[in-house]
Amino acid sequence: MAKAISKIKRYEVSREDQVEQDVQEVKEAVADHKDPILKGVELLKALDDEGSLDAMTAFVKAKDETLANVVKEIDKDQYEPLLRNLPELVFLLGEIDMRGIRELSLRLNHGLETMKGRGTTDHTSFLDLAKALKDPEINRSITMLLHFLKGMGK
C-alpha cells in the first residue's frame, strides 16, 4: 500500500514575481483602456484648474460635518414644499417630450429674435390681421397655435 501524503508543499510566488506580474497586468489594462484613462486625466486637470478638485477634496475630508450642514439647511420650513413635490417633478420630467420642447424652444427663440428687429409701437388693424393670414409663415404659426389650444382643451 502507498503511504498517505501528509505534507503538501505549496508553490509560493516570491514577492518580486508577484509585483512583476501585477505591473504587467496594470500595463495591459492601461493599454486596453488608454482613451478613457486620458479623458479621466483631462477631467482631473480641468477640475484642478478651476479649483473644484480642492473643494471636492475638502468636502470628502469633512463629509460628516458638510452633510450635517446640508441636512440642517434642507430641514428648514421654506424647503418643505420643494421636498414634497420633488418626486412628482422627477416623474413629470420623465413624461415630457424633450424633442418637442427643444423644437418649440428653438421656434420661440427665433420668434423673439425676429420680434426684436421690428418696432412694437406699430398699430395693427383688423385688415392688417386679415392680410397677415395670407403670409404662409404667419398662417402656419396660427394653425399650430390653434392645434395646440385644441389639444390642451381636450
Helix residue ranges per DSSP H, the chain? 15-32, 34-49, 52-61, 63-74, 80-95, 98-117, 126-132, 136-153
Three-point CA angle 20, 24, 26, nearest 5°: 115
Amino acid, single-letter form, for residue 110: H
For the record, the C-alpha cell of 113 comes out as 429674435
Q: Are 127 and 136 in contact (CB under 8 A)?
A: no
Tell me the average pLDDT across 64-80.
Answer: 90
pLDDT of residue 115: 81
Would you tell me how many other CB atoms lie within 10 Å of the CB of residue 132? 13
Would you tell me how many other CB atoms lie within 10 Å of the CB of residue 104? 13
pLDDT of residue 40: 94
% of the chain residues with pLDDT over 70:
97
Minimum mean pLDDT range among 92-96, 112-116, 137-141: 112-116
User: For residue 78, what pLDDT band results from cuts at 50, 70 and 90?
Assistant: very high
Would you tell me how many other CB atoms lie within 10 Å of the CB of residue 133? 11
Would you tell me how many other CB atoms lie within 10 Å of the CB of residue 149? 9
User: For residue 120, what pLDDT band results from cuts at 50, 70 and 90?
Assistant: low
pLDDT of residue 132: 87
pLDDT of residue 1: 65
